[in-house]
Chain A
Amino acid sequence: MTVRPWGGFIADFPDDEVGSERDIAVFGGRNVVVALGRILTKLGCRQVSEPDYCHEEGWAFTFYYKGIPFWSRVTSFHPAFWLLFEETSATRRARKQNAAIYNEIWRKLATAMERDPRFHKLLWRSLKDGPPDPDEIAAADDPPLRSFDEAYPDSQVIAPERRPGCIPIIIGLWFVLSGVMGMIVSASDDPHHRPTGEYITIGIVTIIVGLAILYWGVNRHPDD
């Protein structure tokens, strides 16, 4: 099972956007975020944060489920909304270990929203496909032809994550090798076989930069 982090839906909430016909002073969606936060609290989530204003991107909030931090953002196209629901692990290993819990809370939230009479026409999309267009949401069946469980049957098998490209890994190794070789070359020209202070500094910094690129290259999400 792979979580589809982009959701699109219609919500029966008053439009809380502040502005006029000519301009938007504060983008809407805060009330939807508050409602989702309450739903998640009932589902066992903890430390649901206050909504964080993200201007044209909407409103974001964070919460924990079974000790794992999540991040979510709602963008208003009132009455249609986009929901981005993400687990925020920074490493491949953490993502793998947190995948089952991510899947569990996503399923719980989707089912709860499906049962909540304030939400309609729920559609879910992958990160790669992006959210459904507001027109597509408006045109969706209400109630849906297939329930969430029918459309996305639960499975204990978590789809393995695709491998990210290898270019950052090659670049990381290249920098590490460069840092090491710079110091060796400098030492070989010194009568006492010691690299100069300048070369040690540059070498160490180059190695650290290389290791950072390598770490990021190994752990980055394939869709990032």
Chain B
Amino acid sequence: MEVYAPPRPKPVSPGAHEPWDHNPAVKVVGGSAAFLVGLPFGAGRSVYHAVGDLKDAALFAGKLANPFDPKGREEAAGQVRNGVHGALQYGRSVVADPRRLRADALAAGKTALRDLVPFNRPMADTAWDEMKREFGVGMNDGEGLVNVVGFFGGGEALAGMRAVRTFEATRDARIAKSMAQGLDRKTAEYLSKPYEGRGHHSPIPQRRSVISSEKWKIPIPPVLQGKKIPAWIMDSPLNVSKPRGMSQADFYEYHYGVDKRFQGAKLPANLNGGKGWSGKRLNQKRYGFPERVWRGTPTFWKDGAAIVDAGEFPGLFENQTQGGPQ
């Protein structure tokens, strides 16, 4: 009788994977893919670190302001003094030797080149090591990209605040713009007033305000079935985009650009021949998909991105000096 015996594994000699694992083409393809795959993870890491930094900052501020913990206050104040002292010392050393600033900037540039530019170092021995390294570079770039987004979010917040501050001063320019679009002066003046409507709903549009299993064809707890999403969520700043400092004309143009279901609005009967405002008639543009997502995002989230960026900034260099996972 024959007894079944599993086949003996062939002995694996060291370097058996060499044909592909050490192949430069495999390393380049694998490394490039790993770099791209690392970008979203880096974006997540940026938010993770920023949240941590913000938490630390809040704890520090609490410690600094706590009247019931004089020791902790003194400790925190000491940290502030040390920080200011360090910055002043650095400033003095730069004044004494301006070459230091150049040397430090060059060193920071070199570090950034090493950690942010893919394939700028000799290739690792194996494809897997190369992939790991490029994944780390991708993560660093992902973090950097989030900072850029936060920068734009911050820029938009500043631009919005400036628009609010200069609203009255720029009124004539807004009237001129509407008239250049073909509207008469009275209509242009009416549309130059501050926008006071209820804004653009995003990410949950108004038409999706009812909760129903029929929308997803999945079971939903009976307690939720047929209920409307409460107004305190639907109409909250988390779900309503109403950029700061916009006139009615600005907002109608904006709304037409971001929402395919906003086509126009009524104006008082004696304006624009009773025809109302129509985006199509005024040849307004609709934004493409990525721009629609960015512009349609409520100010609350963009301000949040800017705050995350501010929270990330103190930890930026600390996180980016490491090419691989931490």
A35 at the interface (CB under 8 A from B): no
A residues 188-224 in Cβ contact with B at 8 Å: 188-189, 196, 198-199, 201-203, 205-206, 209-210, 223-224
Given contacts A130-B280, A178-B40, A189-B324, contact A56 B210 (CB under 8 A): no
Q: Which of A87-114 contact B (CB under 8 A)?
A: 88-91, 93-94, 97-98
Stretch from B41-49, B154-162, B177-185 that touches the partner: B41-49
Residues of B within 8 A of A133 (CB): 275, 278, 280-281
Within 8 A of A (CB), among B265-291: 265-270, 274-276, 278, 280-281, 289
Interface residues of A (CB under 8 A from B): 17, 19-24, 27-28, 47, 52, 54-57, 60, 62, 64, 67-69, 71, 73, 75-78, 82, 84, 86, 88-91, 93-94, 97-98, 127, 130-131, 133-135, 165, 167, 174-175, 177-179, 181-182, 185-186, 188-189, 196, 198-199, 201-203, 205-206, 209-210, 223-224
Known contacts A62-B210, A71-B208, A189-B132; 15 further A-B pairs (Cβ under 8 A): A24-B266, A54-B198, A55-B197, A56-B266, A62-B209, A64-B226, A78-B266, A97-B217, A127-B261, A133-B280, A134-B275, A177-B37, A178-B37, A178-B38, A224-B260
When distances are taken between beta carbons in the complex, the residues of chain A under 8 Å from B207 are 60, 71, 73, 86, 88
CB of B289 within 8 A of CB of A165, answer yes
CB of A202 within 8 A of CB of B44, answer yes
Q: Are A189 and B325 in contact (CB under 8 A)?
A: yes
CA gap between A205 and B136 in the complex, in Å: 18
Give min CB distance, A99 to chain B, whole Å: 12
In the complex, which residue of chain A has the Cβ closest to the Cβ of B46? A202
Interface size class of B (residues with CB under 8 A): 35 or more
Q: Given known contacts A90-B208, A189-B325, is B263 in contact with A131 (CB within 8 Å)?
A: yes
Is B151 interfacial (CB-CB < 8 Å)? Answer: no
Tell me if B254 is interfacial: C-beta within 8 Å of chain A: no
B4 at interface by CB-CB < 8 Å = no
Q: How far is the CA of A196 from the CA of B326 in the complex (A)?
A: 8
Q: Of all chain A residues, which has the CB nearest B211?
A: A69
A127, B286: Cα distance in complex, Å: 14
**B278 neighbours in A (Cβ, 8 Å):** 133
Please name all residues of chain B whose beta carbon is closer than 8 Å to the beta carbon of A69 when the two chains form the complex. Answer: 210, 212, 214-215, 226
